[in-house]
Amino acid sequence: MSTDFIRQFRSQPQHRWYSPLLVVVLTAVFYGVGLIIQFGGFLVWALIVIDGGNGDFDSLAETMVDFNTLNGIVNGLITVILMWPAAELATRIVYRRWFWSMISVGRGPSYSGAVGRGLRWGLLGRYMLLGLPVWGIAAVVLIVFSPGAMGDLTSGVQWDGRVAAMLVAVFLLVPFQAAAEEVIFRGLAMNVIGSWLKHPAWAVLIPVPFFVFGHLYDLPGLIDVGIFAVIVGVLTLYTNGLEVGMAFHIVNNIFALGLGVLSGADMNATSGPAIETVISISVPIVFAVLVVLDTRRRQRTEESREERGNRKANQQTNSDLPTTTRVCTVGRAHDHREPRA
């Protein structure tokens, strides 16, 4: 398992021992500024709504933290999304490059070393396709064995404007929200730790508590989130990029929030039935197995293609050599005949 991904900060020409710490501080500052701007936007919007006689400030403020409302979902997802541009700006200032270019690593020309390659869109789509059936099967199992967890989903969905608007918000914002979490907790955090500590286990494990306690769940739920973080961290190292974590995180959150909206479940719940926890823990494990198998298959295919290409090149070279050799040999034999006695 390569450590190239988590050593990107350290490999930069501008790197100093304190540079990663400076990135963290600047990210926090920019994120704080973003939250202030977001809150200011909410105040302006609330004043416009209240002035129109459509509510009071207290009730509007409550909806902003209630995931059962459109305001709450939009506000909550944007709050997380703002972490990404904060990290981009901080990395740009300290290392003179955008973090976007460090989302994955690959080999440079002539295998001169690992270089940042940005987002590999093909792999992102591939991993999302791997995650969709896993979560689809998990959702069916959940409906069969724990129908109460899905609220009204088994008896039919009550379609209205609120449900439609919340689903649109989920599909539009969740990809950015999930990607932002991966950039911060698997991208930025793992590179910061990897610039100071060599063993990759530290880069995987140290960010886990911060990721876990950013989620408001009961103990089983926090354990579930911790297992998710470890698995995705290992897969990030295994695939040399954030695409695998982004893909699974996107699929996971779209299923979780989308099914919650459709079923009318309590989106603010911090606990759930044991079957939900078991399924939620099992899904990333199954996904990880599929990613490993798929990666090995692709590697074997690439190696076979390279071998065929090398054999073809060697055959072409060998087919040219005999003609040249015969000409030279005959020429030498003709030019260097022994004189008669």
Question: Rounded distance, CA 175 to CA 255, Å?
Answer: 12
Question: Rounded distance, CA 194 to CA 315, Å?
Answer: 45
What residue ranges of the chain have pLDDT lower than 70? 51-55, 107-114, 147-157, 309, 313, 317-341
Kindly state whether residue 16 falls inside one of the protein's structural domains.
yes
Alpha helices in the chain (DSSP H): 19-51, 57-63, 70-81, 83-95, 121-145, 161-182, 189-194, 200-205, 207-212, 219-239, 243-263, 274-335
> What's residue 45's pLDDT?
84
> What's residue 151's pLDDT?
55
* DSSP 8-class letter at 339: P
Kindly state whether residue 329 falls inside one of the protein's structural domains.
no
154 and 260 Cβ atoms separated by less than 8 Å: no
Q: Which domain holds residue 280?
A: 5-304
Question: Rounded distance, CA 210 to CA 157, Å?
Answer: 36
Per-residue exposure over 27-43, b if at least 16 CB sit within 10 Å of its own CB, e if not: beebbeebeeebeeeee
Kindly state whether residue 313 falls inside one of the protein's structural domains.
no
Question: Rounded distance, CA 253 to CA 255, Å?
Answer: 5
Kindly state whether residue 325 falls inside one of the protein's structural domains.
no
Residue range 97-126, pLDDT digits in tens: 999 999 999 865 544 456 778 999 999 999
Kind and range of the H or E element at 105? strand 105-107
Q: By C-alpha distance, which of 74, 71, 77 is closest to 49?
A: 71
> What's residue 52's pLDDT?
58
Alpha helices in 240-273 (DSSP H): 243-263
> What's residue 89's pLDDT?
98
Question: Rounded distance, CA 58 to CA 46, Å?
Answer: 10
Kindly state whether residue 296 falls inside one of the protein's structural domains.
yes
Kindly state whether residue 174 falls inside one of the protein's structural domains.
yes
Overall domain count for the chain: 1
> What's residue 114's pLDDT?
66
Kindly state whether residue 70 falls inside one of the protein's structural domains.
yes
Residue range 173-224, pLDDT digits in tens: 999 999 999 999 999 999 999 999 999 999 999 999 999 988 888 899 999 9
Kindly state whether residue 316 falls inside one of the protein's structural domains.
no
